[in-house]
Structure 1
Amino acid sequence: MSDPVSSIRNLGPASDRAFARAGMATAEDVRALGPDEAYRRLLANGTKPHFIGYYALVMGLQGRPWNDCTGAEKDALRVRFDALKANVATDHSAALAAALDEVGVRI
């Protein structure tokens, strides 16, 4: 039997549902993807970006409490988080532009 996503430290039952909606049903799925790809998939599936949620995932996958993230490590994670958000926003913009172009609307 596979462990639920909520078995990862710092994650709870709401995480099980959010990750499942994004195609990750087990803790093993999330671990295999790593924190950045797993979080990118959450964002692409409509989860609102939240920095604490992101670094809680990173810390949890390392077996650390969410509030263990401080200083330079937290600053570096903020850069990664901002890049993920920008990437997903760009993906949505490109997809929207392609869909509008397909129906004949030029932007």
Structure 2
Amino acid sequence: MSGTAISSIKNLGPASEAAFLRAGVPDAETLREIGADEGYRRLLQSGQRPHFISYYVLHMALQGRPWNDCRGAEKAALRRAFDALVATTKDPSAEGLPRALAMALDFYGIRA
């Protein structure tokens, strides 16, 4: 028996649901259980490109808050957490390198 659709969570639609399914997160119950940071880490590991807005929207969604409710010190703290998560999560297309390093090498044209 499958759980509740991820798109049933306010602020998360069909595209988010499809991305989470590709990342191995099958339902809303699992996403709530693992939390926003682990859920987003799984998205990154599945090849999803990092985007800060989608990260904080996920946090707001799991708290039942409007997506644009994130401001000020809370938004700044989430930005620091996002940057740390991106820097330490390996990109499956980056030969095992941390995502931030792979992106820097690509920027300078060092990797093929």
Q: TM-score, normalised by structure 1?
A: 0.82
Superposed structure 1 runs of 4+ greater than 2 Å apart: 89-96
**Which amino acid is 2:4 matched to?**
D
**Which amino acid is 2:64 matched to?**
G
Deviation at 1:36, TM superposition (A): 0.2
Deviation at 1:25, TM superposition (A): 1.1
The aligned counterpart of 1:104 is none
The aligned counterpart of 1:72 is 73
Matches within 5 A, 1:1-107: 2-89=3-90, 95=96
CA–CA distance in structure 2, aligned partners of residues 44 and 20 of structure 1: 13
CA–CA distance in structure 2, aligned partners of residues 8 and 36 of structure 1: 16
Deviation at 1:3, TM superposition (A): 1.1
| Superimposed CA distance per residue, residues 11-32 of structure 1 (whole angstroms, 9 cap, x where no aligned partner) | 1000111000000010011001
CA–CA distance in structure 2, aligned partners of residues 49 and 90 of structure 1: 10
Alignment gaps of 5+ in structure 1: 97-107
Aligned pairs, how many? 96
User: What percent of counterpart residues are identical?
Assistant: 58
Q: Over alpha carbons, which structure has the higher Rg?
A: 1
8 Å contact from structure 2 (residues 6, 27) kept in 1: yes
Alignment gaps of 5+ in structure 2: 98-112
The CA RMSD measured in Å over matched residues stands at: 1.8
Where is the helix percentage greater, Structure 1 or Structure 2? 1
| Bigger relative contact order, structure 1 or 2 (CA pairs below 8 A, ≥6 apart) | 1
Deviation at 1:95, TM superposition (A): 2.4
Q: TM-score, normalised by structure 2?
A: 0.79
Instruction: Report the 3-state secondary structure (helix = DSSP H, G, I; strand = E; otherwise coil) of the residue aligned with 1:75.
Output: helix
